[in-house]
Amino acid sequence: MSRFVKFATALNLALLSVFAAEVSLAGDEKRVVTVGGSLTEIVYALGQENRLIARDTTSSFPPQVLNLPDIGYARALSPEGVLSVSPDLIIAIEGAGPPETLDVLKAADVTYVSVPEAYTAEGIRTKILTVGKALGQDTSAAVLAAKAMAELSEARQTAAQAAMQYSKPKKVLFVLSTAGGRIMAGGDNTAAAGIIALAGGVNAAAGFDGYKPMTDEAIAVAAPDVILMMERSGDHDTAPQDLLALPAIAPTPAAEAGAVIRMDGLKLLGFGPRTATAVSDLATALYGTGS
């Protein structure tokens, strides 16, 4: 047996012992609830879905998670709804609430882990490592985080190369809703702004924080090249022709070009294991393949 093979065998045995230790830890808290779609995706990516007993409304991927009980919307949880499934570990995204519910949950005999949210590559890495630690899966999480970072780096490079075909990056207006003809847009420090930047675009709604209504005049000044929206259904859907005909949108370059991009909301804004794919899809929609 060569020295290399001996070394590889020893390394594999060492890794197996680490994974075995993690599996042992994984049995400590079997009834897990996730609050936050990207966190649920991470649990699945770590192969720990057998421990999930419930999820929140934003957790819609992978599809089989929809078979689990829904404890409600992440920012409007009730303590009764969460505790009714008898969890022994709650993994929740930062911003989950309301605070009164969190106070009750943290006072109950349940381990509560808050996962920080940041709309950057480092934010995804931190999110994966935090979920992995909560589940006793540090080594697996480190592997998953490294994979996610490598994929995201490649996606960003490809997006940048595609954008270089143009004299300037495209200005993208993320429209959250159009209720009553009012445009609710994604400003600075939002997931929308984060994904637009990663895909090589410029957020046309810069200058304010969060998701806020924009006046018709402000949108005309912003002059977006592209309108970006989440895929919706039923009464929440707005047909492209109706969207582009809105008084706020009609004068923009996006309306003139008929440039509307729709993507799955969780994939687009989740900042989880699928973000690299979201970056690639959005960059391709904005600039083509770059080849």
Higher pLDDT, 272 or 16: 272
For the residues of the chain, what is the DSSP string, one character each? --HHHHHHHHHHHHHHHHHHHHHHHHTS---EEEESHHHHHHHHHTT-GGGEEEE-TT---SGGGGGSPB---TTS--HHHHHTT--SEEEEETT-S-HHHHHHHHHSSSEEEEE---SSHHHHHHHHHHHHHHTT-HHHHHHHHHHHHHHHHHHHHHHHHHHTTSSSPPEEEEEEE-GGG-EEEE-BTSHHHHHHHHTT-EETTTTSBSEEEE-HHHHHHH--SEEEEE---GGG---HHHHHHSTTTTTSHHHHHT-EEEE-HHHHH--STTHHHHHHHHHHHHH----
Q: What pLDDT digit, counting tens, does each position of 94-114 carry?
A: 999 999 999 999 899 899 999
Fold: same for 32-147 and 156-288: yes
Average pLDDT of span 18-46:
76
Tell me the domain boundaries of the chain. 32-147, 156-288
pTM: 0.87
- For residue 19, the model assigns a pLDDT of 43
Q: Tell me yes or no: is domain 32-147 CATH 3.40.50.1980.
A: yes
Indicate whether 234 pLDDT > 70. no
Indicate whether 27 pLDDT > 50. no
Record: fold of 156-288: Rossmann fold (3.40.50)
Model confidence at 181, in pLDDT bands (50, 70, 90)?
A: confident
- For residue 279, the model assigns a pLDDT of 98
